[in-house]
């Protein structure tokens, strides 16, 4: 197992690793201009900790071309959700913090769907470069082909796509970045390693605890940046009638169809969670009252048009009532208080006849 990563590591990153091993402290301190790293400069990030933020000191040209923005000088933890989604921000926060802590290289291979709709596999190598400073090389690659290495093949399959690998200075596997004790609050690592504790198994949405965690992070980001934030409280109308009339299997089908409709209506940065039973919530980063009402109404219409199939050829139909609460830029209550306001608006929608959207006062 110690040398398996070397069999699937991209050749560019293997070369970068060799250059890093031979670099002097002075070259590492000036990696964005040092000649030693010339052939990797377009694929190189230089990360520095300063003023309580993690910033891009250097942002390679290939990333600007690929993602459409030059982020040189930008604070990573302050990037808006349409530039860096909560999930990707969590991955980066964990890996950079872990590399700083252990002072050793981290390698990771991962596949994701990017804004152009294409699924791509990237490999990333995070290299310590002095106090508060990291070099990061990243290349889009073909998915790694697993080498037939007997029993170790299964362990390598577990590592690829899921767990960053800690390397020693020879490039061999030294450890896996699995310190939940130190990084248990990093949302993506918790989600990957404790799926059952964070996801609702029926609808594959965030459960109550995980929703509060993710929404709270986005609300804090909105507070720091002075941005608007909105929260929707949703409740399927007369859901008990579905269970009583058609059985719990039909109720489960309705919940899954409802969650699918929500995902269709929502944007990538939006956070959908099931709070319990037929109650759901949605966090809408960087969204004011007008935008939240548009999204809520679009969701309400989609649910109204749903026709999940029943056994025997019949179909279900149901509606949803939605309460909307917003905050910012002058006041930012916590998620529980904001959810309570959205619930009040939801109850008002129920009282007014259901199948409607109501904005909370204030």
Mean pLDDT estimate for the chain: 84
pLDDT band at 134 (very low <50, low <70, confident <90, very high): very high
Among 154-158, 188-192, 199-203, name the one with the lowest average pLDDT: 188-192
Give the residue, 32 or 6, on which the prediction is more confident: 32
Within the chain, residue ranges assigned H as helices are 5-8, 11-22, 25-29, 61-67, 86-102, 152-159, 180-183, 187-193, 195-198, 208-225, 239-246, 248-265, 289-304, 335-351
> What strands lie across the sheet with 173-176, from one edge to the other?
53-59, 44-50, 133-141, 119-128, 106-113, 165-167, 173-176
CATH architecture for the domain at 197-359:
2-Layer Sandwich (3.30)
pLDDT at 160 over 80: no
pLDDT at 162 over 80: no
Region 5-193: CATH code? 3.30.450.20
As a whole-number percent, the residues of the chain with pLDDT over 70 amount to 85
Half-sphere exposure of 69 (CA within 13 A, CB side): 11
pLDDT for residue 3: 59
pLDDT at 190 over 60: no
User: Closest Cα to residue 320, out of 305, 300, 339?
Assistant: 300
pLDDT for residue 4: 63
User: Closest Cα to residue 131, out of 38, 187, 47, 67?
Assistant: 47
Q: How far apart are CA 91 and CA 192, in angstroms?
A: 10
Give the residue, 146 or 106, on which the prediction is more confident: 106
Kindly report, residue by residue over 78-103, the tens digit of the pLDDT.
777 777 777 677 778 878 888 888 88
Among 11-15, 63-67, 88-92, 210-214, name the one with the lowest average pLDDT: 88-92
Q: What is the mean pLDDT of residues 213-235?
A: 93
Q: How far apart are CA 307 and CA 318, in angstroms?
A: 8
pLDDT for residue 346: 97
Kindly report, residue by residue over 228-263, the tens digit of the pLDDT.
999 999 999 999 999 999 998 899 999 999 999 999
pLDDT at 189 over 50: no
* Burial per residue of 165-203, b for 16 or more beta-carbon CB atoms within 10 angstroms, e otherwise: bbbeeebebeeebebeeebeebbbbbbbeeeeebbbeeb
Give the residue, 167 or 290, on which the prediction is more confident: 290
Q: What is the mean pLDDT of residues 310-331?
A: 91
Altogether, the residues listed in the chain come to a count of 362
How are beta strands 229-236 and 119-128 bridged, if at all? unpaired
Kindly report, residue by residue over 13-39, the tens digit of the pLDDT.
999 999 999 999 999 999 888 889 999
Domain parsing of the chain, residue ranges: 5-193, 197-359
Cβ distance 346 to 282 under 8 Å?
Answer: no
Work out the burial of residue 302: count CB atoms within 10 Å of its CB; fewer than 13 is exposed, 13-18 middle, 19 or more buried: middle
pLDDT for residue 13: 92
Among 36-50, 62-76, 246-260, name the one with the lowest average pLDDT: 62-76
DSSP collapsed to 3 states, 279-305 = EEEEEEECCCHHHHHHHHHHHHHHHHC
């Amino acid at each position: 197992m110690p040398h398996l990563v070397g069999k699937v590591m991209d050749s560019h990153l293997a070369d970068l690793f060799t250059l890093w091993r031979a670099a002097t402290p002075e070259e590492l301190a000036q990696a964005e201009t040092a000649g030693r790293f010339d052939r990797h400069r377009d694929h190189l990030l230089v990360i520095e900790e300063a003023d309580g933020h993690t910033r891009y000191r250097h942002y390679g040209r290939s990333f600007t071309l690929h993602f459409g923005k030059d982020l040189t000088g930008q604070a990573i933890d302050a990037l808006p959700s349409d530039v860096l989604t909560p999930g990707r921000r969590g991955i980066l926060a964990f890996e950079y913090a872990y590399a700083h802590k252990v002072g050793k290289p981290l390698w990771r291979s991962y596949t994701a769907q990017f804004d152009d709709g294409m699924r791509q596999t990237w490999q990333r190598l995070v290299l310590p470069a002095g106090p508060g400073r990291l070099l990061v090389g990243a290349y889009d690659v073909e998915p790694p082909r697993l080498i037939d290495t007997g029993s170790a093949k299964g362990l390598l399959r577990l590592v690829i796509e899921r767990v960053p690998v800690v390397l020693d200075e020879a490039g061999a596997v030294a450890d896996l970045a699995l310190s939940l004790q130190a990084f248990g609050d990093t949302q993506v690592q918790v989600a990957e390693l404790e799926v059952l504790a964070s996801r609702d198994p029926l609808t594959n949405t965030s459960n109550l605890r995980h929703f509060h965690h993710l929404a709270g992070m986005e609300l804090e980001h909105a507070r720091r940046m002075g941005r608007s934030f909105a929260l929707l409280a949703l409740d399927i109308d007369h859901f008990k009638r579905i269970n009583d009339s058609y059985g719990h299997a039909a109720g489960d089908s309705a919940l899954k169809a409802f969650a699918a409709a929500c995902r269709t209506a929502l944007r990538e940065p939006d956070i959908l969670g099931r709070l319990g039973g037929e109650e759901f919530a949605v966090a809408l980063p960087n969204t004011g009252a007008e935008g939240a009402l548009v999204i809520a109404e679009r969701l309400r219409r989609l649910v109204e048009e749903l026709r999940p199939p029943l056994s025997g050829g019949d179909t279900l139909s149901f509606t949803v009532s939605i309460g909307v609460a917003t905050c910012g830029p002058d006041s930012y209550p916590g998620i529980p208080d904001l959810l309570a306001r959205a619930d009040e608006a939801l109850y008002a929608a129920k009282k007014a006849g259901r199948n409607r959207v109501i904005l909370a006062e204030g």
